[in-house]
């Protein structure tokens, strides 16, 4: 189980630790930079942290298909970023790794180039939650040791995941997702703040983001501010229609208090909210203009 204690980096902040530095060729550096470019886990590091991570990563070629990189149940040693190729995720519900391919359990997903895996055991001091096997030949991984992962990535990037996980657990839209799926959303969220009266979304604009209301309240209007169509409270979502339908914003959303929203960009929305697309599409807006009582988008079907 996950205790608050196990989330703390083990050594204090004021010791003499410095991350390992593995010399790299210019070619390796440019491939590595490309591999982590689109990965949210690396987007919140400052320059010093980025350089430390780039220095600490070690290239790990995976020459053939079906090579087991992580075995479910093992202790965690490295976190991996995929530069080239793809890797299958297998989960054996009993957690016992038997002989032969059945022992790996069923395939639950695939991690492509630009993705990463192996963070859970390092974050939570837990056994590996899944088995990871190369899905093709000639793959390239970059490995980050446990201590550097905890000292740098957990201090920055994964602090955000922890902060958002408890909020996302309370969001009704996301309740059918697995904790792992919610953690991927947490990694991709960006916080934005708005003062009372500020326009968060303007009707007619193109849509680039999806919003979860993290704090405060907001109103949706169609036409002008006298035509209030919905009220939002903590845990509600908005901004999904333009992204689902590739259409202009269908309403304006205005903060009615100090507001904090967590936003997902369009790509992350499509990639991470696929499992709840049905719920998003079933959210009906017809006929709500009249009745302010019925305004929780999640309670309608």
Residues near ligand 1OR (CB under 6 A) are: 70, 76, 89, 91, 108-109, 117-121, 128-130, 132, 178, 180-181
**Shortest Å, Cβ 236 to ligand 1OR:** 25
**Shortest Å, Cβ 68 to ligand 1OR:** 11
70 exposure class (CB count in 10 Å sphere: 0-12, 13-18, 19+): buried
**Shortest Å, Cβ 225 to ligand 1OR:** 42
The CA-atom distances, in angstroms, between 6 and each of 11, 61, 126 are 12, 32, 9
Exposure class string for 7-23: b at 16+ Cβ within 10 A, else e: eeeeeeeeeeeebeeee
Minimum CB distance to ligand 1OR smaller for 129 or for 189: 129
Which residues touch 118 (CB under 8 Å, ≥6 apart)?
Answer: 69, 70, 76, 78, 79, 80, 128, 132
Minimum CB distance to ligand 1OR smaller for 81 or for 254: 81
**Shortest Å, Cβ 141 to ligand 1OR:** 13
Minimum CB distance to ligand 1OR smaller for 180 or for 285: 180
Minimum CB distance to ligand 1OR smaller for 130 or for 241: 130
Tokens of 79: 């976190």
Distance CA 212, CA 240 (A): 10
**Shortest Å, Cβ 180 to ligand 1OR:** 4
Closest CA to 72 of 118, 137, 123, 139: 118
Minimum CB distance to ligand 1OR smaller for 149 or for 232: 149
Work out the angle at residue 267's Cα, subtended by the Cα atoms of residues 62 and 288, and round it to the nearest 5 degrees. 145
């Amino acid at each position: 189980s996950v205790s608050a204690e196990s989330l703390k980096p083990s050594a204090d902040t004021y010791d003499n630790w410095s991350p390992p530095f593995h010399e790299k060729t210019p070619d390796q550096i440019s491939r590595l930079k490309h591999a982590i470019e689109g990965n949210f886990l690396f987007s919140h590091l400052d320059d010093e942290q980025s350089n430390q991570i780039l220095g600490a990563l070690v290239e790990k070629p995976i020459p053939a298909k079906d090579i087991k990189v992580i075995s479910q149940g093992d202790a965690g040693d490295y976190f991996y970023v995929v530069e080239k190729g793809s890797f299958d995720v297998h989960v054996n519900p009993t957690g016992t790794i038997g002989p032969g391919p059945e022992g790996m359990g069923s395939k639950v997903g695939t991690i492509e180039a630009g993705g990463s895996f192996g963070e859970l055991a390092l974050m939570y001091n837990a056994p590996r939650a899944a088995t990871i096997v190369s899905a093709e030949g000639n793959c390239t991984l970059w490995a980050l040791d446990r201590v550097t992962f905890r000292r740098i990535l957990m201090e920055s990037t994964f602090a955000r995941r922890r902060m958002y996980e408890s909020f996302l657990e309370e969001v009704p839209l996301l309740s059918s997702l697995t904790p792992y799926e919610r953690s991927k959303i947490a990694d991709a969220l960006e916080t934005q703040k708005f003062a009372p009266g500020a326009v968060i979304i303007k009707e007619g604009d193109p849509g680039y983001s999806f919003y979860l209301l993290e704090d405060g309240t907001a109103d949706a209007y169609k036409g002008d501010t006298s035509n209030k169509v919905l009220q939002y409270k903590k845990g509600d979502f908005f901004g999904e229609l333009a992204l689902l339908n590739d259409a202009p914003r269908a309403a304006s959303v205005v903060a009615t208090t100090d507001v904090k929203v967590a936003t997902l960009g369009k790509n992350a929305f499509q990639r991470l909210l696929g499992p709840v697309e049905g719920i998003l599409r079933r959210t009906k807006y017809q006929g709500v203009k009249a009745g302010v009582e019925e305004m929780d988008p999640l309670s309608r079907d």
